[in-house]
């Protein structure tokens, strides 16, 4: 982060899960940490999120899922992002995610996994330390 540009983050809800209190908390936290944060609202598809990430030229995409569908969604998202030529975007998942699944998500290529109740400071620190551009 040498260019002084503010970190741009897209927080999204993919799928039908309507629990977005955690997503909204994170949006506010990252804004307080000086980042520019766009929240997609509920019921997004993978394609919509990829399109928004491209259009908004974000540095970070965060996906909140509490419905247990994190693995298939992550796989599709990774595939679509690769197809769209998105390489330097940090990908984070959060929500109701069992420990062993967190490992599986990371193995698949998700950069950071933050289950419900994760420390907010840890998330913003992680973003700053792992930005890809």
Partner 1 sequence: MAKKEKAGVREVTSVLGTPVKIHYGPEDLKEFDYGKDLGQPGEYPFTRGIYPTMYRSSLWTMRQYSGQATSESTNERFKFLMNHGQTGLSLAFDLPTQVGLDSDDPLAEDDVGKLGVAVDTLADFERIFDGIPLNQVSTSFTINAPAPIILAMYILVGEKQKVDRKDLRGTIQNDILKEYIARGTWIFPPKPSIKLVGDCVEFCIREVPHFNAISVSGTHIREYGANAVQCIAIPISIAQVYIEEVMKRGFGIDDIAPLLSFHLPVGGRDFNFFEDIAKLRAGRRLWAKIMKERYDTQDQRSMQFRFSTGGMGGGLTADQPLNNIARATAYALAAIFSGTRSMNLACFDEVYAIPSDLAIRTSLRIQQILAHETGVSDVVDPLGGSYYLESLTNEMETKMIEILETIDRKKGIVHEIENGEIQRELAQQSYLLQKKINSGERISVGVNRFSVKEEERDVEIYRVDPETRDRQLERLRQVKEERDSARVVQSLKSLELAARTEENIIPHLFEPLKAQATLGEIISTLKKVYGQYKEPKTV
Scanning 1-9, 24-32, 79-87, 105-113 for contacts with partner 1 by CB under 8 A, the matching segment is 24-32
Distance CA 58, CA 101 (A): 26
Query: How many Å separate Cα 8 from the centre of its chain?
Result: 11
Q: Beta partners for 81?
A: none
For partner 1, the closer CB: 31 or 132: 31
Contacts with partner 1, 96-125, as mask; x by CB under 8 A: xxxxx--------------xxx-xxx----
For partner 1, the closer CB: 101 or 131: 101
- Are the beta carbons of 53 and 86 closer than 8 angstroms? yes
Provide the b/e sequence for 42-65 (b: ≥16 CB within 10 Å).
Answer: eebebeebbebbeeeebbbbbbbb
72 binds partner 1, rule: CB under 8 A: yes
Number of residues that bind partner 1 (CB under 8 A): 33
Contact footprint for partner 1 (CB under 8 A): 15-21, 24-25, 27-29, 39, 41-43, 45, 67-69, 72-73, 96-100, 115-117, 119-121
């Amino acid at each position: 982060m040498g260019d002084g540009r503010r970190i741009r983050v897209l927080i999204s809800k993919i799928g039908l899960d309507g629990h977005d209190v955690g997503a909204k908390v994170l949006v506010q936290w990252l804004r307080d940490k000086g980042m520019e944060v766009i929240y997609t609202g509920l019921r997004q598809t993978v394609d919509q999120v990829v399109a928004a990430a491209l259009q908004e030229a974000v540095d970070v995409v965060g996906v909140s899922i509490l419905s247990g569908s994190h693995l298939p969604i992550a796989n599709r998202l990774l595939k679509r992002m690769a197809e769209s030529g998105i390489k330097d975007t940090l990908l984070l998942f959060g929500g109701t995610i069992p420990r062993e699944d967190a490992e599986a998500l990371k193995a698949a290529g998700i950069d950071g996994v933050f289950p419900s109740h994760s420390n907010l400071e840890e998330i913003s620190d992680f973003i700053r330390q792992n930005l890809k551009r």
